[in-house]
Structure 1
Amino acid sequence: MKKSNRIWLILGGIVALLVIFLLVAKSAGWIGKEKPTEVEFVKASKSDITETVSASGKIQPEVEVKITPDVPGEIIALYVKEGDSVKKGQLLLKIQPENYISITQRAEAVVNQTKASAEQAKSTIAQSEARLARVQMEYNRQKKLFEDKVVSAADLEVAETNLKVARQDLEAARANVEAAKYNVKSAEAGLKDASENLRKTSIYAPMSGIVSKLAVELGERVVGTSQMAGTEMLRIANLNNMEVRINVNENDIVRVSLGDTAMIDVDSYAMTGKKFKGIVTEIANTANGSGTAVAAASTDAVTEFEVRIRILPESYRDLVDRKTRKVYPFKPGMTATVDIITEKKTGVLSVPIAAVTTRGANDATTTEKKDGDKNEAESTQESKTTKKDKPKEVVFVHDKDKVKMREVKTGITDTSAGTIEVISGLKEGEEIVSGPFVVVSKKLKDGDVVTKKVEKKEDKEKKKD
C-alpha cells in the first residue's frame, strides 16, 4: 500500500509540474503563439514624383511625300538614288513619252480642224445674209406690184416663202457658228488634257528634302491613274524634323496634353545610354481603326489613340557631324520608347507602389474570425455585403509586432521610381509594410503579427548584380 501511494504521489507531482510548465510557457508565449509573417518595412517620406505615360513606337519624318505617277509607262530616265538631297522642282525621273506625244499631236490637228470649220461657218453667215438681202428686195418688189395689181397673189406668196427660207438659213448659219465655237473649245480641252499627260511623264520634286525611299528601277513599268494612287515610285522626306508616333491606351490618353515634355529612348542609341527630349505636338481625336467593320465587330480589341512627339533638335545636336556627312542621326522606321511627363510634384509624401493595396470596406474594421463563430447563413450574408462594398486603398502600418490596416488617399504615380503619392491617411516617418507583394495584396490582415524579413545571401547578390 505504501509503495502504491508513493507512485501515485510521484505521478501527481509530475502532472502538477507539467500543468505549471504549460501555464508558464503559454503566458510567456512559448507555445500557442501565432507564427509571425515575414515582411519588409519602409518609412513614409517626402520626395519628388514625376507621373509618366509610357509607350513604344516608330520614328518617322514629320513631312514625308509619297510620289506616284498619274500616267502609266516605262521609266526611261532615273536621275536620283536613295539618300540623295533634292530641291523643289528638280527633275527626278521620266516616263516613256512617245505615246503621249502622238496623242498631243493628234489633239492639235483636231483643234486646227475645228478652227477651220468655225471659219467656214462664219463665211456661211455672210452668204446667208447676202441671200436674205436679195430675197428681201425681191419680196418688196413683188409686194408693190401686187398692190398695183400687176402680179398675182401666187407670185407674192412665192416671194414671201423665199424670204422665210432665207431667214431660216441665216439663223441656221449663226447656230453653226456657235456650234463651231464649242467644237473648238472641246478640241482645245482635249489638247490641254493630252499636253498635261505629256507633261506628267516628267516627275519633279514637290518639295525639298531627302529621297528616303526609292522603290523603282530604270526600265521598270509603273501604273498611274488620275482616279486612284498608282505605283509608289519614291518618297521625299524632310529629315530635319523627326517625330515618334506611338499608340497610347485609352486609360492613359486622358492624362496626355499638347505641349507635354517627353523623354525618348531610341533603340539604336541604347548602348550609349543617351536619351532625347521631345514634345507632344498632336493627339488623335479618334481611336485607331475606329469606324471599320472589324472594330465594330470586336469588343475585346484594345482601344488606342495615336500620339505624335517631335524630337527636339537641340537634344541630338551633338550627334550631327557635317564633316563625315552624318547630318541626320535618325532614320525612318527606327524603334523608340517614349515616357511622356504628364505631371510633376516636389516634396510630397510618398511610399512604394507595392505598399498600397485594396481591401473591402468590412476588411478595414474587422479581423478574421474562426470558422466556428459563424453559421452558414451568416457567412452567405457577409459575402453578399462584401461584394457590394467599394474597395478602398489601404496600407499596413507597423505597430510594435503587429500591423494596423489604414485607409489612405493616393495621388499620382511615378512608375520609374516605383513610388506613389499619399494625399491623406499617413504621416511622414510612419513605418509601413512594403512587401512581399503577394503578402501585402492578398494575405495580410488587420492585427496580424509580423516580423522583419531577413535577406538571404542569394537575394543580396541579386541586388548587387
Structure 2
Amino acid sequence: MITMKKVLLGVFVLVFLGLSAWLGYYFYQKANTDPVVYKTEAPFETEIVKKTVATGSIVPRKEVQVKSQVSGIVEELHVEAGQIVKKGQLLAKIRIVPNMVSVNNAETNLQTAKLNFEEAKRELARYDQLYAEKVIPEQEYRKYKADFALKQEAMQAAENNLQLVREGSSRKSGQQSSNLVYSTIDGMLLDVPIKVGTSIIERNNFNEGTTIATVADMRSLVFEGKIDESEVGKLKENMDLVLTIGAIEGRVFDAKLEYIAPKGLDEEGSIKFPIRAQVVLDEKDFIRAGYSANADIVLDKRDKVMAIKESMLQFDKEKPYVEVEVAPQKFEKRMIQTGLSDGINIEVVSGLDGKEKVKVPDLGIAHI
C-alpha cells in the first residue's frame, strides 16, 4: 500500500511539474508576442451605380420567313444568304409537279366549256340572222347573246384553271404567277435553306410550308433577354441599358428599355420576366443576328458621394456601425446611416466625417 501511494504521488508531482512548465512557456510566449496593428481606411468620394444584369441575345425587330404558295421543285434560285433585297424582288422560281387527278379534271372541264361555247356560238349566229330579218324580238335576241358571252367566259376560265394546275400561272392579265417567290420586305437575307432541285411544300391552312428564305431588317435590332423576378419591380420603360456582346470585344452598345413582360416564365424553379430593348447603332455599326449579349441595367446612381467599402460595415441588431479610430489603435463604436450600395462600396449618409479613419475588421492585421 505504501508503495502504491508513493507511485501515485510521484505521478501527480510529474503531471503538476509538466503543467507548470507548459503554463510558464505559454505566458512567456504571450509576453514576447508583437502587438497587433489594425488597418484603417478613410472614407472617400466616389460615384455609386446600382445595376442588375440581364442575359439574352441580339435579334432583328422585323424578321420574316418567305414561303411558297405552291408545291414543287426549286427550278431557279436568284439569291444567297447575306444579300440585301428589296420588297418584291424575285427570290426563286418553282417548277410545279402537277397532280394528275387535278389535271384530268381541269382538262375535262375545259372540253365541256368548249363544247358549250361552240353550241352557243352556232345558236347566236342563227339568231343574228333572224334578228336582222326582224323575225324575233330584240329581248329574245339579247338572251342568246348573253348566253354566248357567259359560255365564252366559262371557256376562258377553264383554260386559265388548266394552266394554273399545270404551271402555277395563267395568261390572265394582271395575275401574278404563283410559282414565283418574291421578298415581302426590304432587308438582308439571313438564311436561304434550299437549293436548286429541292422539293418544297406549299403554305396552306394545314401546313406551314417550306421556308424559301429568311429576310430581316438589320437596321433595326433589339435586345431580348430575361430578368429575375426580384429585380423586375425596379425596372421602368425608357431606362438606359449598356450592352456587352461577347463576340465583339472592347465595345459596348447603348440601348433603351421598351418592353417588360407582364407575365413571368418558370425556368428551372425560378421566375424570369422577358424584356426587350432597342439597340442604338451608328451608321457604320453592323451586328450579326443571334449574338449573345449581357445588358447592364442602371437601377440607381449617386454622383460624388462619401462612401466606404461595404466590407468595413458591422451590424448590431441589424443596425450598421463602424469602429472609428479616436487615438492610435484605439477605436470607438459609431452608428452610421447608409445609402446606395453597388455591392463593393456603400454610401455614408451621416455619422461619419470624411477625415476620420475607420477600422478594417479582421483584415490587414500586421505585426510590428
- 1:379 maps to none
Could you tell me whether the CA contact under 8 Å between 2:253 and 2:281 is conserved in 1? no
SS of alignment partner, residue 252 of structure 1: helix
CA contact (8 A) 2:239 2:257 kept: yes
Pairing 1:346–2:306 present: no
Secondary structure at 2:215 match in 1: strand
Shift of 1:206: 0.9
Q: State percent identity of aligned pairs.
A: 21
What is the root-mean-square deviation of aligned Cα atoms in Å? 4.3
CA gap of 1:393–1:104, structure 2 versus 1, over 3 A, is farther
Pick from 235, 255, 258 the counterpart of residue 256 of structure 1.
235
Look up the match of 2:274.
Answer: 306
1:161-197 deviation per Cα after TM superposition (whole angstroms, max 9, x unaligned): xxxxxxxxxxxxxxxxxxxxxxx9xx99xx69x7897
Change beyond 3 A, Cα 1:65–1:394: farther
Which letter maps to 1:248? Answer: I
When you count helix as a share of all residues, which structure comes out higher? 1
Q: In structure 2, what is the Cα distance between the partners aligned to 1:420 and 1:228?
A: 59
SS of residue paired to 1:354: helix
Q: Quote the residue 1:284 is aligned against.
A: 261
Equivalent position of 2:151 in the other structure: none
Question: Shift of the alpha carbon at 1:252?
Answer: 1.9
- Is 1:356 matched up with 2:334? no
Distance in 2, matches of 1:70 and 1:255, equals 47
By how many angstroms is 1:302 displaced?
A: 2.5
CA distance in 2, matches of 1:91, 1:232: 15
Compare CA radii of gyration and give the structure with the larger one. Answer: 1
Which ranges in structure 2 are unaligned for 5 or more consecutive residues?
1-23, 121-153, 170-176
Tell me which residue corresponds to 2:16: none
Question: What does residue 215 of structure 1 align with?
Answer: 193
| Cα distance in 2 for residues equivalent to 1:404 and 1:112 | 110
State the secondary structure of the residue aligned to 1:332.
coil
Q: Counterpart of 2:83?
A: 84
Report the alpha carbon displacement of residue 85 of structure 1 after superposing the two structures with TM. Answer: 0.7
- Note the C-alpha offset of 1:405: 5.0
3-state SS of 2:98 partner: helix
Cα distance in 2 for partners of 1:345, 1:236 equals: 44
* Contact persistence 2:41–2:358 (CA under 8 A): yes
**Corresponding residue number in structure 1 for 2:74:** 75
Q: Following the alignment from structure 2 to structure 1, what is the Cα–Cα distance between the partners of residues 213 and 359?
A: 60
Q: Count how many residue pairs are aligned between Structure 1 and Structure 2.
A: 293
> Which residue of 1 is the match for residue 184 of structure 2?
206
Cα separation, 2, equivalents of 1:261 and 1:69: 41
- SS at structure 2 position matched to 1:248: strand
Note if 1:421 corresponds to 2:333.
Answer: no
Following the alignment from structure 2 to structure 1, what is the Cα–Cα distance between the partners of residues 100 and 301?
Answer: 66
1:265 corresponds, among 225, 237, 244, to 244
Q: 1:85 to 1:105 in 2, by over 3 A?
A: farther
Aligned to 2:251: 274
* Partner Cα distance (2:243, 2:61) in 1: 16
Tell me how far 1:222 sits from its aligned partner: 2.5
> Are residue 412 (structure 1) and residue 324 (structure 2) matched?
no
What TM-score does the superposition give when structure 2 sets the normalisation length?
Answer: 0.64
| Alpha-carbon distance change, 410 to 197 in structure 1, aligned in 2, over 3 angstroms | farther
Equivalence map 1:10-49=2 (5 Å): 31=31, 36=36, 40-49=39-48
User: CA–CA distance in 2 between the matches of 1:84 and 1:200?
Assistant: 23
Instruction: State the alpha-carbon separation in 2 of the partners of residues 108 and 281 from structure 1.
Output: 58
Are the equivalent residues in 2 in contact too, given 1:58–1:246 (CA < 8 A)? Answer: yes
Look up the equivalent residue of 2:256 and give its one-letter code: I
Shift of 1:433: 3.8
Partner of 1:334: 291
More strand by share: 2
Deviation for aligned residue 1:95: 2.4
Specify the SS of the correspondent of 1:343. strand
CA contact (8 A) 1:68 1:231 kept: yes
Q: Tell me by how many angstroms 1:208 deviates.
A: 0.2
In the aligned structure 1, how far is the partner of 2:111 from the partner of 2:347? 84
Please state how far the C-alpha of 1:61 moved relative to its aligned partner. Answer: 1.6
Given that residues 352 and 434 in structure 1 are in contact (C-alpha distance below 8 angstroms), is that contact kept between their aligned partners in structure 2? no
Measure how far apart 1:211 and its partner are: 0.3
Change (3 A) 1:412 1:109: farther
| Aligned residue identity for 1:340 | I
Give yes or no for contact 1:84–1:211 (8 Å, CA) kept in 2.
yes
Once the two structures are superposed, residues 290-330 of structure 1 have per-residue CA deviations (whole angstroms, 9 ceiling, x without a partner) of 5xxxx6xxxx522222222322123xx4xx2xxxxxxx521
Written as runs of structure 1 = structure 2, the 5 A alignment for 1:168-183 is none
Give the conservation status (yes or no) of the 8 Å contact 2:71–2:202. Answer: yes
For 2:365, the aligned partner's letter is K
Structure 1 residues 225 and 354: CA distance shift in structure 2, 3 A: same
| CA drift at 1:259 | 1.4
